[in-house]
Amino acid sequence: MGSSLLSVAEQLLRDLQRTYSETKQIPDDLLIALRFVFGPCALQALDLVDQRSVTCVSSPSGRNAFQVLGGSGRLYTCFTSCHYCPCPAFSFTVLRRNESLMCKHLLAACLSQAMGLCQQEQVSDQQMTHILSGQTEAST
């Protein structure tokens, strides 16, 4: 997946952040652009945002991560500085097939952050270590 498309996606998320902060709505042209750039997972990601499925967890060290509650009830931990999600769709369509920029969980995290709709949760540093290492996902 080319870096040009990634730049387009980043610009689109910036546009969304600006527009949503002013109007609290997503205009049709931005919805069409989201669907065009991110494909079918755009609608699924917006559904996750609507359900407030994205939580930004923070620890006293200052470290942050996103936890996204998937449709199956499983929690997926996504990082803030780079694109990674432990879900099978990310592994297959993003990493293996290179057909999408993101899975619905990652996109939901990006959209929630841009729209200021992340839930906030404080955890201890040790809990953050468990979350980042993937141990919480392995045990769910």
Partner 1 sequence: MADILGVVFRRFASGTVTTDVIFPAEAEGNTLVLGDVNISRSVLFLAAVTAATDLGLKVLFFTQTPFQSLPVSLRASLPGLKLETLKNVKFVYVKTLEELAEDLASLHELASEAASPPSLIILDGLDHYLHGSRGGPLQDDLSPVAHVAALLHDTAAFLSQILQSRADGQGLCRVMVSFQSEDEGSRDSEALAPELLLSVLDRYLQVRCTLEEVKHDGEWRVYLSVMCPALVQQWHMVLRAGGALEFRPVFGGEQQILEQPEKSKQENERCGDNCSY
Reduce the DSSP state of residue 67 to 3 states and report it: strand
User: Residue 36 is encoded by which pair of tokens?
Assistant: 């065009």
Encoded one letter per residue, x for contact with partner 1 by CB under 8 A and - for no contact, window 4-43 reads: ----------------------------------------
8-state DSSP, 94: I
Backbone angles phi, psi at 136, to 5 degrees: -70, -35
Range in contact with partner 1 (rule: CB under 8 A) among 13-21, 32-40, 45-53, 58-66: 58-66
135 is a site residue for partner 1 (CB under 8 A): yes
Backbone angles phi, psi at 119, to 5 degrees: -70, 155
Backbone angles phi, psi at 121, to 5 degrees: -145, 135
Which residue, 31 or 132, has its beta carbon nearer to partner 1?
132
Encoded one letter per residue, x for contact with partner 1 by CB under 8 A and - for no contact, window 91-130 reads: x---xx-x--------------------------xx-xxx
136 is a site residue for partner 1 (CB under 8 A): no
In this chain, which of 22, 23, 82, 139 binds partner 1, going by CB under 8 A? Answer: 82
Is there a contact between 78 and 112 (Cβ–Cβ < 8 Å)? no
8-state DSSP, 80: S
79 is a site residue for partner 1 (CB under 8 A): yes
